[in-house]
Amino acid sequence: MVDLSTDLGFIKLKNPVITASGTFGYGEEFQDFFNLDILGAFVLKGIYKNPRSGNPPPRIHETASGLLNSIGLPGPGAKELQKIVKRIHRLTKTPIIINVCGDTDEEYIEVAEIFDKMDEVTMLELNISCPNIKRGGKCPAQDEKHTYKLVNQIKHNTSKPLIVKLSPNVNDISSIAISAEQAGADCISLVNTFLGMAVDLDSKRPVFKNLFAGLSGPAIKPLALKLVWEAVQSVHIPVIGIGGITSGRDVLEFILTGASAVQIGTINIVEPKASVRIIKEIEDIMKKLNIKNLDEIKGKLKI
């Protein structure tokens, strides 16, 4: 028997596979595909205080081994999501993570406080890294001081474990990771999507109205691994690796690089049952390589 569990310090997950925000709806959409109990945890689509309609179409565009998105945070608002969370909690005891968003620091705090009060919610993931804000705008995760200030305020106003989701669109990931840690983050997750763009030769226009969009999928895996490595070297809190993971082998590569868990994103859109396959693959590889538990390989990359 192999042990797939992973200890984040504030919680032990039965396995390292977490479904990523924005690729797994609110969880209930996937109940017809597989039993949600098998997941380590799942993150709901990011939520703002009030309902929002998101960006105009097109919202997604396929690239070589990747996906560009400019979804723009549509959602039902915090009040409606509270009802959804109660419904999901009746379906599964798998830990529910709320991806907290805001246009202003005040909104982030308000949304975080609302879900902090819910027993059905296990953790908060602070999404300070959405790439699809107004063109030229900066998200909080692109600024050390803003990251520190916001994370610090959220920690002072909430009591649940706080994961801070970082952006790859920065010059120095270490300094942002350290700011999040110093401000009280319990964990960091990275990476959100890389800024990219697509153009349409026929119309001679950009594909997306917002010009830029966020790139995810296998194309970004090597870039994500590098940033996860740098983050792991910089902080003492656990790191959740995200970026182009499609197989059990990919998951174990991130664990070897030092991640304590991973999030599975774009593959959920292509293959809704990907998590089931990936968890089985992790188990099979561990058996084959005689790895009894994840700690045996976590951060053991030989440099």
Q: Tell me whether strands 60-63 and 66-69 are parallel, antiparallel or unpaired.
A: antiparallel
What residues form DSSP beta bridges with 187? 163
d(CA 174, CA 54): 31
SS3 232: helix
Q: In the complex, what is the shortest distance from the CB of residue 280 to ligand RRO, in angstroms, rounded to a whole number? A: 28
Considering beta carbons, is residue 140 or 258 the nearer one to ligand RRO? Answer: 140
Identify residue 265 by its one-letter amino acid code: G
Contact 71, 59 (CB under 8 A): yes
The residue with tokens 């959602």 is: 75
Concerning whether 130 is annotated as a catalytic residue, the answer is: yes
Taken in order 249, 61, 68, 274, the sign of the CA dihedral is: negative
Burial 205-215 (b: 16+ CB within 10 A, else e): eebbebebbbb
Considering beta carbons, is residue 190 or 294 the nearer one to ligand RRO? Answer: 190
Query: Exposed, middle or buried, 247 (CB in 10 Å: 0-12/13-18/19+)?
Result: middle
Burial 53-77 (b: 16+ CB within 10 A, else e): eebeeebbbeeeebbbbbbbbebbe
Q: Which residue is nearest to ligand RRO (CB)?
A: 214
Considering beta carbons, is residue 131 or 238 the nearer one to ligand RRO? Answer: 131
Residues in the chain, total: 303
Q: Which of 101, 130, 139, 187 is catalytic?
A: 130
Considering beta carbons, is residue 130 or 225 the nearer one to ligand RRO? Answer: 130
Query: Contact residues for ligand RRO (CB under 6 A)?
Result: 22, 46, 69-73, 127, 129-132, 192-193, 214
Q: In the complex, what is the shortest distance from the CB of residue 145 to ligand RRO, in angstroms, rounded to a whole number? A: 21
Considering beta carbons, is residue 70 or 275 the nearer one to ligand RRO? Answer: 70
Residue whose C-alpha is closest to residue 85's, from 111, 59, 103: 111
Considering beta carbons, is residue 124 or 279 the nearer one to ligand RRO? Answer: 124
Q: In the complex, what is the shortest distance from the CB of residue 192 to ligand RRO, in angstroms, rounded to a whole number? A: 5
Q: In the complex, what is the shortest distance from the CB of residue 202 to ligand RRO, in angstroms, rounded to a whole number? A: 25
Kindly list the distances between the CA atom of residue 162 and the CA atoms of 27, 125, 191, in Å, as whole numbers in the listed order. 20, 6, 16
SS3 195: strand
Q: In the complex, what is the shortest distance from the CB of residue 229 to ligand RRO, in angstroms, rounded to a whole number? A: 22
Q: In the complex, what is the shortest distance from the CB of residue 185 to ligand RRO, in angstroms, rounded to a whole number? A: 17
Positions annotated as catalytic residues are 130
